[in-house]
Structure 1
Amino acid sequence: MTVRAAVHPVLVFLLFAVFASPGYAQIYKWVDEDGKVHFSDRKDHRIEQEEIRVKPGASKWARYEIDIKTVDVELTGEEHQQIADGVNNVYEFFDRVMSFDMYRTVPVNILIFRGKAEYQNYLIGNNRGSSIASYGLYIPSEHQIVVYIREHRSLTFKTIKHEVSHAVVDSIIPYAPAWLNEGLAEQMEMLERDESGLYFERHPDNQWVVARAREQGRLAEIDQFLKLPSDKWRHSDSSGSGSLRAQSGQFVCFLLSTPTRRNFVVRLMHNFNRGDRTLSYYLVDDNYLGGVTMLGSDWNRWLFDQGDGVIRL
């Protein structure tokens, strides 16, 4: 597991954040014959390495005050708190788990309509008519999330967390591939917090869709999945002809299920944050131990046995 880069203080900090674990983390640094600086969490006795010991600092993340407006609908105090907690949990995930400075992101404002018709009329009035079939939408120009109250109100609150994830990614990782953007948003729906900290539960809908697609031989192989450009991903998703959205959610769930794979996601996201537009497929060999072949094998094993229904972060 090796990361190549030019020497840059910000990059060094990000690498430390990625490889750091409770207590002191061991990072090895060396310079190759071409003058490129390398960092790794593995000791290689074949080359001369400098050991760097890093103790990660506490996150400076703190809760935001969330602006929530409603149109012809009343929220209970408990529901208002549930929305604010959910949004802050998503912000904290990107700050503490993904190592992004969330104070560089303007908090979203949330607009909640009473019903679907009012929601759709608002979108049409804001030239968003193509999204009227959705449950919620993030509008970048307004930095606004718009939703409507569904019959099961808890689903509305999940949609808000989904769209908050899109808001964060749009703000700080604009070149994130569609599968990663949507997969994170799908998983954020299941993000919760208890006295032990943040955790995910399985996404039952995505789990069912992926299992069925796999049984029917319709599930995309990981190498093809990672090669799919974002525009083609979105076209396939909007056509409703595939299971890409559910697969993206489950694939991100798989990646977040262990610390090693979470580190892989962090490295990918910071690559895209720095403006890298390379297809995900071509970044795997440099960032995932064993490359695409091992990633595909690990994914298939996980599909057979997904382990505990709760992922602690």
Structure 2
Amino acid sequence: MTSYLPALLTTLLSLAPISVTAKIYKWTDENGQVHFSDKKIESVEQEVIKPRNHTSSWSRYDISVKTIDTNLSKQELNKIVADVNLVYEFYDRVLFFDFYKTVPVKILILKDEKAYYDYLRKQTGREPSRSYGKYLYKGNQIVVYIQKDRARTFRTIKHEVSHAITDTVTPYAQSWLNEGLAEQMETLSKVEGQLRITSHWENYKWVNPPLRHEKLMEIGTFIRLPNTKWRHEQRNGSAPLQAQAGQFIYFLLSKPTGKSFVIRLMHKLERGNRTHSYYLVDKDYIGGIKGLEIDWRNWLRGKIDKHITF
């Protein structure tokens, strides 16, 4: 059975437009944190942001869901809708992304693991690496399958939606940044109106036990790893590399200076800056690469926050 659900999702995922008559102010505090508000504050230097007046045919994203030989319950469909909204809200509220172009996403849900790998072989022409889901840049398609743990299927969709956003809006982002952010989206939730990410237990298992600390790739080497090398490592099933990316981004987002750095880095990439992230880190992170390495190692040796609220 094949099922298409684009019209319903497009309706449910529509966002209310920002009033073009309201003034929006932007400023950066002493900690490097970027703020947005509709109120003028005389004590700080603010920049007036003029929202783009898009035509009614423009939307932040164009998303549809297709299932083959499997069915989704109404509750599961509603969860996909809510989860996708959360991912976009994170990029909007936490990373301050300006969605200046539509992010088209087509979600394909297959019945099982065999159907999933058969489909990837057909689409890519090669033997796929081990995975729970895949974002295919060509065609803006997210491919997943119904896992025995069905909840993991929906966490995987959130992961791949993050890739769709990053690849569309910041196509020059390096794999460690792209993958690290996607790992956070798997645990993203909303609690009492606030966005929350939770420590990813699988990444923690691979990275945080003390005996593993000294085996981790040094951060300077890690962030200089070319995307081609990263993809090669992933095809060889290098779970520690992906786990380190996830824990590294979790570490950055847990600290005001780290979060501010991630925001600055993503915005430079959004504007088309092709400078290698290694040099952006050395310039924009307090203490440069050496300072970042020290902070990372100290964080690994300390008590890891169970969750981070934004």
- State how far apart, in whole Å, the 1-side matches of 2:232 and 2:150 are: 30
Aligned counterpart, 1:244: 241
Q: Which 10-residue stretch deviates more, 211-220 or 73-82?
A: 211-220
TM-score, normalised with respect to structure 1: 0.78
> In the superposition, relative to structure 1, how do residues 25 and 177 fare at CA in structure 2: closer, same or farther (>3 Å)?
farther
Question: 1:64, CA displacement in angstroms?
Answer: 6.3
Percent identity among equivalent residues?
45
Q: 1:133-178 CA distances to partner (integer Å, 9 max, x unpaired)?
A: 3211112222111110000001110111111111111101111011
> In the superposition, relative to structure 1, how do residues 170 and 301 fare at CA in structure 2: closer, same or farther (>3 Å)?
same
- State how far apart, in whole Å, the 2-side matches of 1:305 and 1:277 are: 34
State whether residues 14 and 99 of structure 1, in contact with CA within 8 Å, keep that contact through their aligned partners in structure 2.
no
Which residue of 231, 235, 247 maps to 1:234? Answer: 231
Q: Which 10-residue stretch deviates more, 247-256 or 107-116?
A: 107-116
Aligned counterpart, 1:123: 120
Tell me if 1:142 matches 2:142.
no
- State how far apart, in whole Å, the 2-side matches of 1:109 and 1:232 are: 28
Aligned counterpart, 2:261: 264
Which residue of 34, 46, 49 maps to 1:19? Answer: 34
State whether residues 192 and 198 of structure 1, in contact with CA within 8 Å, keep that contact through their aligned partners in structure 2.
yes
Tell me if 1:70 matches 2:67.
yes
- State how far apart, in whole Å, the 1-side matches of 2:213 and 2:296 are: 18
RMSD: 3.0
- The 5 Å alignment of 1:1-313 reads 19-20=34-35, 52-54=45-47, 66-102=63-99, 104-131=101-128, 133-212=130-209, 214-215=211-212, 217-241=214-238, 243-313=240-310
Question: 1:224, CA displacement in angstroms?
Answer: 1.8
> In the superposition, relative to structure 1, how do residues 173 and 74 fare at CA in structure 2: closer, same or farther (>3 Å)?
same
Q: Which 10-residue stretch deviates more, 214-223 or 195-204?
A: 214-223
Question: 1:193, CA displacement in angstroms?
Answer: 1.2
Q: 1:228-278 CA distances to partner (integer Å, 9 max, x unpaired)?
A: 222222222322356211000000011111333211101111222223233
> In the superposition, relative to structure 1, how do residues 229 and 133 fare at CA in structure 2: closer, same or farther (>3 Å)?
closer
- State how far apart, in whole Å, the 2-side matches of 1:139 and 1:213 are: 36
> In the superposition, relative to structure 1, how do residues 129 and 135 fare at CA in structure 2: closer, same or farther (>3 Å)?
farther
State whether residues 128 and 235 of structure 2, in contact with CA within 8 Å, keep that contact through their aligned partners in structure 1.
no
Q: 1:100-158 CA distances to partner (integer Å, 9 max, x unpaired)?
A: 12352324121111111222222222235432632111122221111100000011101
Partner AA of 1:170 in structure 2: D
TM-score, normalised with respect to structure 2: 0.79
Partner AA of 2:45 in structure 1: I
State whether residues 66 and 109 of structure 1, in contact with CA within 8 Å, keep that contact through their aligned partners in structure 2.
yes
Q: Which 10-residue stretch deviates more, 148-157 or 79-88?
A: 79-88
Question: 1:25, CA displacement in angstroms?
Answer: 7.2
Partner AA of 2:297 in structure 1: N
